[in-house]
Amino acid sequence: MAPTADVLQGVYSTTELRQMCEGGRQLFSICADRLSVTAAELNVLLRQVPGNPLLLGLDSRAVARRITKHLIRAGELQVSAARSMKDCWFAYEALILNPPAAPSGRTFNVRG
């Protein structure tokens, strides 16, 4: 079953944050796939619309490209959102759950 926007609700624990990030990543990935498929299908359909016969169909292709570029851009943004959900969890895991070790007692002293 595909995740819904309900996975993006409030976060009160580490487990809920992980579930939100994973569910959001899946949701955005599914949306990106659907948008790219829809853009490709719409592009094919709009290219078949008869245009000006003097332009030999170039205007139909240009119109199809202008219309579908918005769906393509929306799909790219969904991919970026999915990547950000993954990066959020990895940053939380690296900085909160497994913080970097404390620096050693050695320091750099310019004066000597």
Token pair in block for residue 41: 């299908």
Confirm if 95 and 20 have CB atoms less than 8 A apart.
no
Q: Phi and psi dihedrals of 107, rounded to 5?
A: -130, 165
Model pTM score? 0.75
**Which whole number is the average pLDDT over 12-23?**
90
Asked if pLDDT for residue 90 goes beyond 90, the answer is: yes
Which amino acid, one-letter code, is at 81?
A
Token pair in block for residue 76: 């790219």
| Ranges of each domain in the chain | 12-97
CA pair distance 97, 99, nearest whole angstrom: 6
Look at 44-53, 80-89, 98-107 and tell me which has the smallest mean pLDDT: 98-107
